[in-house]
Amino acid sequence: MRRKVVAGNWKMNMTDPEAVELVKQLKESLRSFNEVELVVCPPFTSLYSTSKMLTDSNIGLGAQNLFWESSGAYTGEVSAEMLLSVGCKYVIIGHSERRQYFGEDNQSVNRKVKSAIAGGLTPIVCVGERLEQREAGKTEAVVEDHIRGAFEGLSGEQLRKLIVAYEPVWAIGTGKTATPEQANEVHLFIRELIKELYDADLSSRTRILYGGSVKPENVRSLIEQPELDGFLVGGASLKAESFAAIAREVENSTT
């Protein structure tokens, strides 16, 4: 049985006082949830302050990126060890915005995944096609390339520690959600690929989240799909009310 996850990717939003306020509200509204695994990923500048507030809560802390070296002359970068030292348990890796604006590619994603796992963090590895790729019938080829690239050289033991997020780029921040069937189809494709690359047991254990314009209004039909194990939420994670409403649907779907 795969435990469902609802993770909030705050992206480059929230000053530190705003982040503290949002976490305060989230703690309150998410307090009674115990089936769903909850994660918030504030910007680096608020990891420390929010981590203090999340100690002994049911909400885990994640970062939005990391660098694969452990320390040294890498101006502007942050290592797995540093993230752990402020209480992070998760880290988002390979988000399409990082691929698009910051030159991330399969190779850097792979190095980051390995350093995150070695450092004891759970990577949330993002994969997904752009609109023109979907329209050209290349969705599976792109997703396969992202998965093979991210997983290159990973043992089954390492793979166990990771979460996949399927985020079709055309659905991110656009209000256009993949239909539940479209999402499930790609999730199933990823699961089959993991089976081919590893084995059936690992494939059935790997959690695959969906991301892209997830809102309280569409979450129920998405979570009914058998291959969806939760969500990576962008815009709707910036308000306690909408993030809690999404988490509630997922919590309810488990009972």
54 near ligand 13P, rule: CB under 6 A: no
Distance separating alpha carbons of residues 81 and 84, to the nearest angstrom: 5
Distance separating alpha carbons of residues 187 and 178, to the nearest angstrom: 12
Distance separating alpha carbons of residues 40 and 36, to the nearest angstrom: 13
119 near ligand 13P, rule: CB under 6 A: no
22 burial (CB, 10 Å; 0-12 / 13-18 / 19+) is: buried
User: How many chain residues interact with ligand 13P (CB under 6 A)?
Assistant: 14
Which of the following is catalytic: 95, 104, 146, 249? 95
39 near ligand 13P, rule: CB under 6 A: no
225 near ligand 13P, rule: CB under 6 A: no
43 near ligand 13P, rule: CB under 6 A: no
Please, which of residues 201-220 interact with ligand 13P by CB under 6 A? 211-214
Task: Supply the minimum distance, in Å, between the C-beta of residue 168 and ligand 13P.
Answer: 10
172 near ligand 13P, rule: CB under 6 A: yes
Task: Supply the minimum distance, in Å, between the C-beta of residue 174 and ligand 13P.
Answer: 7
Residue nearest to ligand 13P (CB): 234
Q: Which parts of 55-138 fold into alpha helices (H)? A: 80-85, 96-101, 106-118, 131-135
Residue 251 falls in the annotated catalytic set: no
The residue from 233, 244, 247, 250 that contacts ligand 13P (CB under 6 A) is 233
Which of the following is catalytic: 167, 187, 249, 251? 167
Q: Which of 90, 84, 93, 88 is nearest to 112 (CA)?
A: 93
Other C-beta atoms lying within 10 Å of the C-beta of residue 54? 18
CB-wise, 180 or 195, nearer to ligand 13P? 180
The residue from 91, 234, 244, 248 that contacts ligand 13P (CB under 6 A) is 234
Residue 167 falls in the annotated catalytic set: yes
173 near ligand 13P, rule: CB under 6 A: yes
Q: 203 with 215: CB under 8 angstroms?
A: no
Given CA atoms 79, 81, 83, 88 in this order, what sign does their dihedral have?
Answer: positive
Beta carbons within 8 Å of 251's beta carbon, 6+ residues apart:
33, 35, 36
Q: 111 with 79: CB under 8 angstroms?
A: no
Task: Supply the minimum distance, in Å, between the C-beta of residue 232 and ligand 13P.
Answer: 4
Catalytic residue annotation = 95, 167
Chain residues that interact with ligand 13P, rule: CB under 6 A: 9, 95, 167, 172-173, 211-214, 232-236
